[in-house]
Structure 1
């Protein structure tokens, strides 16, 4: 790759990690990161929960499981070296029903295969010892689950890229890919790596990729706990997830700035970059509605969708589920906070794509699905992608 020009579409944390890794291994290459916004980390990176996952949930042997484990260790080392925020506040995955306990035990077995460090099972007394205001029948404690500031990490990656001779061009949307990987404005590249997040299917389509999977956007809304109650949770408290969905359910998240948030939910968004309820993109809505997988997904999961929409409309309904874990925090103790949008890939048959999906199209590499834990895994994803360029 020396003396070649490599373009990276997207200046989120994954795209920046990939560009940085190319320059680290191939200092003679010209690397140009192209970002349609006026800054890095403008979308998913800048609107996530800040959690560094330990690898509890992911199917053993999957890319998610493999890259989360390695990526988390790499991210910790990077944050330590750069003196960036990194707090191993720990996480409880709490079972509040007997059905939850059965699913939690299956989750523990999966986490064991993924070699999650320090994971242990707690009874009700053990829960109260770690989180005195939490309730549950049993829980898994992950002491090395951490929180960080992904925007600051992305900005640090950007500094690394520029220091190594790379370029970051903001305000550069990709509207077409011409013959010979001509990206317009006089820029032609030898290799193109698409890390476009919410627009990944659109940009991949410009490179000739198949339409599947399609990105379906889900807005995740957060509540912020008022200061008087924010000390009731010390770390992270999560429900036992439903294995049918890639979403983890509403949970309590400590932020590195000291805030305590509840969320996110998962509501179908009417715009891919729609962080407010009123945001609407006719183009994005058409892309969702015209995809056969959207209707097949809705047919399977409409009950959950209705429940999520009700929780979005009603703060009391939103907090009803959360109070099962921390009863002392109710609807009167939270205010509406920000929101993020998850780029959820959906196949034509309506299946929610769970694992990372990375396609190779000749000189183009397209990351088609990289939801959570992509931020945790970003440095390992970068290794994986750059390894593939040599094949």
Structure 2
């Protein structure tokens, strides 16, 4: 492959470009990003957790890539002196009804090859003195990292490799031909041999520009956080998670110690009225109309309306949010928390109303599209990047062929 363009400057796009620089060391690489900085959206607004892979269906890409990516992320941080901490986490059952779900999660973690253990309330107190729980899973593989710093390092490595790194370059159309791809941006037009779409919150729109029509649409969910005031940081040593509701695709509000020393509490999960809507007041008519006109959304809403109502209530009631946190740390009070920046998750949804649970990648004639890469995509970015790089065909005398064929 002689010329490859990657659309999207988040951690998945950058790690993909990094993997492509290894597989095709002589190819001309170009990374284009519509914003004025790298990692501005999902990557730059998450809480920096290195996930272990305990939650995911055994055999799924999420399970395999999270486990491999966790170690590879730590290795990358060690090599390039990036701030991280393999602090581990606990997943806590606070009610009798959660014990069977905790055991199910433990069995899933074992099936995924994780070195985890079940601990009782006394051992839990040793791990997290202010948490009240009946039983917990201790997950040593989890950790925390500065993903923005990871991206800064990837950008530097790509520049040193000779890649063309373009900010403020928003894609308006993609025309896929037999021998090339035209990328039309607000700034200029590019001709390239191959395109990799890592557009995150806009990945579905970019995919459809090429003529592909996968049965999915990105629906944005805003995750809202609070942060513990500095004099309350002692309440949380590392990472504290509840037992997730198996019928709801989010992990529930939890506590995350961050590498900068702060402690986040959250997130909830509410429908965002704008794909890049980080505030409650953010609204975009096109984005919102697309959601309302998509039949899959209404099927999802009918299935999860009760959970959705609870998430909305937590969004507008700090008292309700704190009540959820008190299930883990009963001593926490409203006055211990102050608002923190929100994040937006790009979640792919099918017309059937089913959330796309795994990473989802589709291919065109001269393109690959990462259509669904929610959490743990940051943790798994290096395996994702390598998987995509292996799917990019080589070109010889303007004829494409698969390596090894």
TM category, shorter = over 0.9
* Cα distance in structure 1, aligned partners of 2:64 and 2:19: 18
> Aligned-residue CA RMSD in angstroms?
0.9
Report how far residue 253 of structure 1 moved.
0.4
User: Residue 244 of structure 1 corresponds to which residue in structure 2?
Assistant: 247
Cross-structure match for 2:72? 74
**How do 1:317-332 residues align onto structure 2 when only pairs under 5 Å count?**
317-332=320-335
Measured in 2, the distance between the counterparts of 1:197 and 1:105 equals 34
Whole-angstrom distance in 1 between the partners of 2:176 and 2:212: 15
Answering whether residue 286 of structure 2 is matched by residue 263 of structure 1, we say no
Q: TM-score, normalised by structure 2?
A: 0.94
For residues 246 and 366 of structure 2, what CA distance do their matches in structure 1 show?
Answer: 36
Deviation at 1:129, TM superposition (A): 1.1
How far does the alpha carbon of each residue in 1:108-137 deviate from its partner, in whole angstroms, 9 at most, with x for none?
Answer: 1110011113x1101111111111110111
Q: Is structure 2 residue 335 aligned with structure 1 residue 335?
A: no
> 2:240 aligns to what SS in structure 1?
strand
SS at match of 1:72: helix
Q: C-alpha separation between the residues in 2 aligned to 1:360 and 1:186?
A: 22
* CA positional deviation for 1:171: 0.9
Alignment match, 2:399: none
Per-residue CA deviations over 1:269-291 (Å, capped at 9, x if unaligned) read 00000001110000100111111
Q: Equivalents in 2 of 1:267, 1:94: separation in Å?
A: 23
Aligned: 1:36 with 2:34 = yes
Matched, 1:127 2:124: yes
> 1:101 aligned to 93, 99, 102, which one?
99
The answer as to 2:281 corresponding to 1:284 is no
Counterpart-to-counterpart distance in 1, 2:21 and 2:377: 20
The partner residue of 2:216 within 185, 191, 213 is: 213
C-alpha distance in 2 between matches for 1:349 and 1:73: 36
- State whether residues 50 and 149 of structure 1, in contact with CA within 8 Å, keep that contact through their aligned partners in structure 2: yes
Runs of 5+ consecutive residues of structure 1 not aligned to the other structure? none
1:351 to 348, 351, 354: 354
For 1:176, what is the secondary structure of its paired residue? strand
Equivalents in 2 of 1:336, 1:384: separation in Å? 38
Which ranges of structure 2 fall in alignment gaps of 5 or more residues? 394-401
Deviation at residue 211 of structure 1 after TM alignment:
4.8
SS at match of 1:309: helix
Is 1:297 matched with 2:300?
A: yes
Give the C-alpha shift of residue 331 in structure 1: 1.3
Tell me if structure 1 keeps the 8 A contact 2:21–2:27.
yes
Show structure 1 runs of 4+ deviating over 2 A.
Answer: none
2-structure distance, mates of 1:78, 1:147: 13
- Per the TM alignment, residue 186 of structure 1 is displaced from its structure 2 partner at its CA by 3.6
How many pairs does the alignment contain? Answer: 388
What is the CA-CA distance between 1:179 and the residue it aligns to? 4.4
Q: For residues 35 and 186 of structure 1, what CA distance do their matches in structure 2 show?
A: 14
- Contact 1:344/1:371 (8 A) holds in 2: yes
* 1:245 and 1:352 in contact (8 A); partners too: no
1:191 paired with 2:194, answer: yes
